[in-house]
A and B are shown apart, each in its own frame.
Chain A
């Protein structure tokens, strides 16, 4: 199975529905921190160009806030593509974006547990 097919199965997204209006990127609160933006995830998955996205920092900048999903007029769900591509990047052994040993130095006394468990779930397998 090629990477494109894998992303489509994992995410359940039909990229062919996209009409390239750009609203997903317009709605994205992390747009400025991303090298590839939500609309580019859709167009690059459509072309089967997955590897640059897997290596991109964008997959760790997506907040999974679902603004892109809620506001897409065509129901394309870009955040689900980003989630699938992040999983492809972090699932292989030794590919975790954050390791347990990294966490103590990142903590401040008020940071809620919720932030730690969520980041760990998103960034590590």
Chain B
């Protein structure tokens, strides 16, 4: 199993642990993640306006490079995943958009849609399978209460992201069960942490994240897990009782790659 890997800006800087643990886990699970040679930052946000072209070109280039390799793209950061998947959707379903971006990018071969954008969680569920994953666990999180934090970008808009039920998701809870932990159900798991407003108005994002963390803590969580570096930052800024970790860090421990 070989995949093109799109790390994104933050995994090369503030979220190195997300990058490192995911690469090690993929290797242990028999998958080869080949980093795209010429990836550029996705911009962090998909701009939902029919006349917006230039801000989507970096995703188009990543999709074209992966398709020329005949590989799917694996992403980890929720924001990269959201942007790449939505641009892929535009490229395959909106001929006018494809015409305009091709005028900029001048691809040797236009994007055909063979390359899919797969989040690492989808890779675990759909390519490895949670039952197979469970068999590979050597250090299960037995007795640990783990709260899944989805946030917004993994799930919404559900029609395009198509990862899980946007209001009652279970992919992270199934992951938690596969690594031997006990999922904590709490009502704020798919509410927004405040996102990029952290740059301009941190008090606003702390307030939103405090509600999320207090809810998870109140339901007895020991650890909160996320896929998104900005969610991790915002949830940590709320200074709750639970630790906040990337889901891949727990996976690395469960697979015996990393010390608990």
Interface residues of A (CB under 8 A from B): 9-12, 29-30, 33, 60-61, 63-67, 69-71, 79-80, 83-84, 87, 98, 103, 106-108, 110-119, 121-123
Contacts and interface: CB of A to CB of B under 8 A. Distances in A.
Interface of B is mostly: loop
A65 B154 CA distance: 10
Interface of B: 8-10, 13-15, 41, 43-45, 47-52, 55, 77, 79, 151-152, 155-158, 166-167, 191-192, 194-202, 204, 208, 228-230, 232-233, 236
A115 B10 CA distance: 9
Contacts of B13: 112-113
B9 A113 contact: yes
Given A33-B204, A110-B233, A113-B9, A63 B197 contact: yes
A106 B200 contact: yes
A29 B195 CA distance: 11
A11 B52 CA distance: 11
A70 B15 contact: no
Given A67-B156, A70-B167, A87 B49 contact: yes
Contacts of A123: 200
B155 to A, nearest CB: 8
Contacts of B51: 9-10
B152 A112 contact: no
Given A33-B204, A115-B196, A121 B43 contact: yes
A98 B199 CA distance: 10
A79 B155 CA distance: 15
Interface of A is mostly: helix
B85 to A, nearest CB: 13
Contacts of A87: 47, 49, 52
11 contacts: A30-B197, A65-B151, A69-B157, A70-B156, A80-B49, A84-B49, A87-B47, A87-B49, A114-B44, A115-B44, A123-B200
Contacts of A116: 199
B191 A67 contact: yes
Given A112-B10, A114-B230, A103 B48 contact: no
Nearest to A10: B49
Given A111-B198, A112-B14, A118-B230, 10 more contacts: A29-B194, A30-B204, A64-B195, A87-B49, A98-B200, A110-B14, A111-B199, A112-B230, A113-B41, A123-B200
Contacts of B228: 114
B198 to A, nearest CB: 5
A11 B151 CA distance: 23
Contact of B192 (A67, A84, A112): A67
A115 B198 contact: yes
Given A63-B152, A111-B233, A118 B79 contact: yes
B233 A83 contact: no
A80 B79 CA distance: 17
Contacts of B151: 65
A121 B47 CA distance: 8
A87 B45 CA distance: 13
Nearest to B15: A112
Given A65-B152, A106-B199, A106-B200, A118 B43 contact: yes
Given A70-B156, A83-B47, A111-B233, A119 B14 contact: no
Contacts of A12: 50
A100 B232 CA distance: 25
Contacts of A112: 10, 13-15, 229-230, 232-233
